[in-house]
Chains A and B, each alone.
Chain A
Amino acid sequence: MLVLAALSLPLQPQSKGVLSVSPVDKLTIQRGAAGEVKIIAQLQPGFHVNSNTPSEDYLIPLKLTWAKEPLQAEQVIYPKPQSEKYDFSPTPLSVFSGNFEIVTRFKAPADTRNGPAIMNGKLRYQACNNKECLPPRTIEIPVTVEIQ
């Protein structure tokens, strides 16, 4: 019962370092149908993360990945990156800063089991400000799912 009660609430993602992720709304999805989950990330002022498509090979991209079940992640849609110039780079870099959203489109397989479940995601990022960089980090993002 406790587990079921817990699954009815949005789960709190781990917050690490200068990037935090808001609790993700519960996703209710029909078997065989599609649904979307929105991840809202907040970066501390002054910091940026490399976008999912960094402008330099040596930079670590932001990447959201999902477990293979119970849902299938069909598409991860990142926001449009900003092009920003920093003291440490002669050319503008492709980054995200401030608050930004990442949308994932899921499909519930027709043969998946009905009921409550957790879909686990991981958001890997590497942040810098104008003068210094922090090591890459990964935030665990659990999403409560109700499959009908």
Chain B
Amino acid sequence: MVLLKPIQAAIGCIALGACLVWTGCSNIPEAGFGPRSVHAAVKPEHDRKTAPEFALKDSNGQTVHLADYKGKVVLLDFWATWCGPCKIEIPWFIEFEQQFKDRGFAVLGVSMDEDGWEAVKPYMEDLKINYRILLGNDQVSDIYGGVESLPTTLLIDRQGKIASVHIGLSRGKEEFRDDIDRLLGSSSASAGRALTSLTAAK
């Protein structure tokens, strides 16, 4: 696994941009997730950038595109079986999947394990993971700016835009829960506003 440093990541992104279905490096404001803890608040809608599209296999061998989740709020978690802080957060995400799935929410875990499903599948069973796990690779790491530190967790809004980025063990699950709730709610509020405008136009 080759995980790039920020400048290398930027160069890699430029090269990859021509051949990947992707919206551009500049869409990742936090390019080069180096070894540092970052816990960004949910950004205002006009400041959000489109999450890069990817196609990765899940544990059943099915190809999953991020675009499949458009219209949902997605918690995208880059993790690995050897990552202790990731192991703390996974039960939170299991809980969120259960709590919010009926409101248009989904967790996607992207494992960065070199040993692939051989390492990941038993771990999924041990922790009783109830959300979809995908096997990551260098390409997806690159298009997300060179994911180096794990866990790295992004909250993606219903429009497929990155609302917040958390690098490292979060301060607590309530921090995520509030952000998810806000994104689920804000979408309803936006939809409500749109409906009001339409009604007014008639």
Q: A residues within 8 Å of B by Cβ?
A: 18, 47, 56, 58-60, 86-89, 93, 126, 128-136
Contact = CB atoms under 8 A, between A and B. Distances in A.
A131 B169 contact: yes
Nearest to A129: B35
Contacts of A129: 35
Interface residues of B, number: 24
Name the prevailing secondary structure of the B interface residues: loop
A59 B85 CA distance: 12
Given A129-B35, A131-B85, 14 more contacts: A58-B81, A58-B123, A60-B82, A87-B88, A88-B87, A88-B169, A126-B82, A128-B83, A132-B151, A133-B84, A133-B86, A135-B3, A135-B112, A136-B1
A133 B149 contact: yes
A29 to B, nearest CB: 35
B6 to A, nearest CB: 13
B82 A86 contact: no
Nearest to A44: B35
Contacts, number: 63
Contact of B80 (A56, A131, A133): A133
Contacts of A56: 84
A132 B80 contact: no
A136 B115 CA distance: 12
A18 B36 CA distance: 12
Interface in B146-161: 148-151
Contacts of B150: 132-135
Interface of B: 1, 3, 35-37, 80-88, 112, 114, 123, 148-151, 167-169
A128 B148 contact: no
B35 A58 contact: no
B87 A18 contact: no
A88 to B, nearest CB: 4
B87 A132 contact: no
B48 to A, nearest CB: 24
- The 3 A-B pairs of least Cβ separation, nearest first, read A131-B168, A132-B168, A88-B84
Contact of B37 (A47, A86, A126, A131): A131
A134 B169 CA distance: 13
B30 to A, nearest CB: 14
A130 B170 CA distance: 11
Given A88-B84, A88-B169, A132 B123 contact: no
B131 to A, nearest CB: 19
B83 to A, nearest CB: 4
B141 to A, nearest CB: 9
Contacts of A87: 85, 88, 169
10 contacts: A47-B35, A88-B84, A88-B88, A88-B169, A130-B169, A131-B37, A132-B167, A132-B169, A135-B1, A136-B82
Nearest to A87: B169
Contacts of A136: 1, 82, 114
B84 A128 contact: yes
Contacts of B87: 58, 88
Contacts of B37: 131-132
Contacts of B85: 87-88, 128, 131-133
